[in-house]
Structure 1
Amino acid sequence: MKYLRSVRGRMLGIAFLPGGALVLVAVVIAVFLVHQAVRTRDLAMETAAAADRTARAVVAMQGQRSAAMASPERRSDAYTSFTLRIESAIAGLREYARHAPDAESAYQQTTAVELLSVAEGMDRSDSLALAGLDNVTRGSFTSAVAAYRAELARVVPQLTESGRMAYESLTRSADWSRLAAAENAFTAAEPLPVPESTWRSAAYAVSEQLCLLYAQQSQYAVQLTLDDGRRTLAGALAAGTALLLFAGLLLVVVRRLVARVPVPVVPIMVPTVGAAIPRPRHVRSRRPGLPEPWPLKAVLDDLRRP
């Protein structure tokens, strides 16, 4: 019985090797996928924080630029300095978008950055117009207006359905029409077609709507990345659990199969000590003796007979 248990134990140990390897593979895959999911979530949160910081910094610098440009002697330097700083901040946010975990997230985040650039272009032109245009700054104003309008029209097809609806609502609004009329008048060096207060109100409303459009797109891009991380985590847990269950089932089946395998038992001869077997009588060696006297007696008896 000890020999039988030893053989079956060896067979069971050999059969458990594939199951153990499968368990190890399942653990490695699950750990890797969980790590990827956590990394994706952290990247999404980092991108969201960077987008919020950049948007706040851009708004703050836009206000500082408008305030600095109120002074005629500092107007040109303030415009150039703050514009370069804002563009650098937006470029840094664009780098975050390029390191998104997947192509769709990178695409949506890049679209959000482009919308922030559109909002900055509109505010840039508004700062120039508010500070007063001359023969030098009118060209910069015209270029800024044309650039943000063209960029907005280019980005619209990339927006989500709700984003396109928000854009159409903006371009059909009275504020958009009033701002466009004022910008066209400034470009042509003509008087404002609307009162200045109406122009300022329209400019503020359009700028606010563009910022909301950017925020909506940015939140969508971040949510897309978070959802991808959750799907990766759920897939990791499901795959790891399935592999572990399969490995456990395999081990149970192997154990039962090994228990049913007939193993031949080789008897082990154990020497024993017992009484010596007596030899047969006919094989005993006899001691030599004297010849019997009957032949001589027979001769004498024959001589005595008459």
Structure 2
Amino acid sequence: MKYLRSVRGRMLGIALIPGSALVVVAVVITAFLVHQAVRTRDLAVETATAADRTARSVVALQAQRSAAMAAPELRTAAYASYTQRIDTAIAGLRDYVRRAPDAESAYQQTTAVELLSVAEGMDRSDSLALAGLDGVTRRPYALAVAAYRAGLTRVAPQLTDSGRTAYESLTRSADWSRLAAAEDAFAAAEPLPVPESMWRSAAYTVSAQLGRLYTQQSQYAVQLTLDDGRRTLAGALSAGTALLLCAVLLLIVVRRLVARVPVPVVPIMVPTVRSAIPRPRHARSRRPKVPEPWPLKAVLDDLRRP
């Protein structure tokens, strides 16, 4: 006789299977969420690095463009070449926006890129004015001025509270008014309404404030992405820990409940090899013979005699 399996052991096995499955599911979900959080954090770091690298590249190319446009014979070619390189750098930064982890981060990063384009448009028009306007460059100058003003007006409602405050402070400042008056005069081929020193000072101040506005918005967008990654990581760890604790608690409770069930061990009879093999005829035990009926009849007849 062998005891193959007990009812209690079978009940415990049935309880352990879903508990173990819950543990596996908890581990898989936790690993997936942690991977997403780490990926979001890495993407935020890459975006911050790309934004800083692009801004530095744009500033360097702007300085090279202004220097190259000092030669009248190279003015048009230098303007077109460096402007195209700057546009390519900004377009590369837009590619990082498409990889944003969520819509809010993408929205804020797009706003930062638009501000960088506005700052580039202002510097583009300023470089044309510094090089000297003629019949060929006056139209591109007017288009550049109109484009960066329209871009700044369009992006203003998308700014944060501090960004809108900085925008209003910029557009209401005296430097903005002086620069706008000088730009309008250049576009209309009229004399400067302000001294050249005041025009240059206003242009420098406006350019610096536009750069700070871009930096502030870019840092906010990157910080927003980092915070999202931290929240995802914290949620992943919390959810995974909760699932694991529930699974372990379930296993402990089931084990204790099964241990309290008074279920006897159910034996299963297994025939042995020896009894399964038929024995030969001569080895079988003989049954006692049934007595013949005639001796009993003789005894009964003797008892009936008087």
Deviation for aligned residue 1:260 = 1.7
Deviation for aligned residue 1:193 = 1.1
Is 2:215 the counterpart of 1:215? yes
Contact 2:170 2:209 in 1 (8 A): yes
SS at match of 1:197: helix
Cα distance in 1 for partners of 2:173, 2:267 equals 100
Residue 160 of structure 1 aligns with an amino acid whose one-letter code is T
Within 5 Å, give how 1:1-306 maps onto structure 2: 6-266=6-266
Residue 158 of structure 1 aligns with an amino acid whose one-letter code is Q
User: Which region of structure 1 is more displaced relative to structure 2, 171-180 or 27-36?
Assistant: 171-180
Gaps of 5+ in 2: 270-289
Task: Mark the structure with the bigger radius of gyration.
Answer: 1
- After superposition, give the CA deviation of every residue in 1:38-96 in whole Å (9 maximum; x if it has no partner): 00000000011000000000000000000000000000000000000000110110111
Cα distance in 2 for partners of 1:206, 1:267 equals 93
Instruction: Report sequence identity in percent.
Output: 82
Number of aligned pairs? 278
Deviation for aligned residue 1:6 = 3.7
Cα distance in 1 for partners of 2:159, 2:149 equals 16
Cα distance in 1 for partners of 2:41, 2:52 equals 17
Contact 1:118 1:148 in 2 (8 A): yes
Cα distance in 1 for partners of 2:130, 2:266 equals 105
Cα distance in 2 for partners of 1:46, 1:161 equals 26
Evaluate the alpha carbon distance shift between residue 263 and residue 78 of structure 1 in structure 2; reply closer, same or farther with a 3 A threshold: same
Contact 2:138 2:187 in 1 (8 A): yes
Evaluate the alpha carbon distance shift between residue 284 and residue 158 of structure 1 in structure 2; reply closer, same or farther with a 3 A threshold: same
Contact 1:34 1:232 in 2 (8 A): yes
SS at match of 2:193: coil
Residue 84 of structure 2 aligns with an amino acid whose one-letter code is L
Deviation for aligned residue 1:169 = 0.5
The structure showing larger relative contact order (alpha-carbon pairs under 8 Å, at least 6 residues apart) is: 2
Deviation for aligned residue 1:15 = 0.9
RMSD: 2.4
Cα distance in 1 for partners of 2:157, 2:30 equals 39
Cα distance in 2 for partners of 1:189, 1:60 equals 30
Residue 258 of structure 1 aligns with an amino acid whose one-letter code is V
- After superposition, give the CA deviation of every residue in 1:254-294 in whole Å (9 maximum; x if it has no partner): 1111112221345789xxxxxxxxxxxxx999xx8xx9xxx
Contact 2:34 2:233 in 1 (8 A): yes
Contact 1:4 1:263 in 2 (8 A): no
Contact 1:179 1:203 in 2 (8 A): yes
Evaluate the alpha carbon distance shift between residue 175 and residue 267 of structure 1 in structure 2; reply closer, same or farther with a 3 A threshold: closer
TM-score w.r.t. the length of structure 2 is 0.86
Evaluate the alpha carbon distance shift between residue 38 and residue 179 of structure 1 in structure 2; reply closer, same or farther with a 3 A threshold: same
- After superposition, give the CA deviation of every residue in 1:127-146 in whole Å (9 maximum; x if it has no partner): 00000001111111100000
Q: Which runs of 4+ in 1 moved over 2 A?
A: 2-7, 264-269
Deviation for aligned residue 1:241 = 0.4
Deviation for aligned residue 1:9 = 2.2
Cα distance in 2 for partners of 1:148, 1:44 equals 28
Cα distance in 1 for partners of 2:205, 2:266 equals 96
Contact 1:61 1:86 in 2 (8 A): yes
Residue 215 of structure 1 aligns with an amino acid whose one-letter code is T
Contact 1:185 1:192 in 2 (8 A): yes
Cα distance in 2 for partners of 1:267, 1:44 equals 65
Contact 1:166 1:213 in 2 (8 A): yes
Deviation for aligned residue 1:3 = 5.4
Evaluate the alpha carbon distance shift between residue 13 and residue 229 of structure 1 in structure 2; reply closer, same or farther with a 3 A threshold: same
SS at match of 2:85: helix
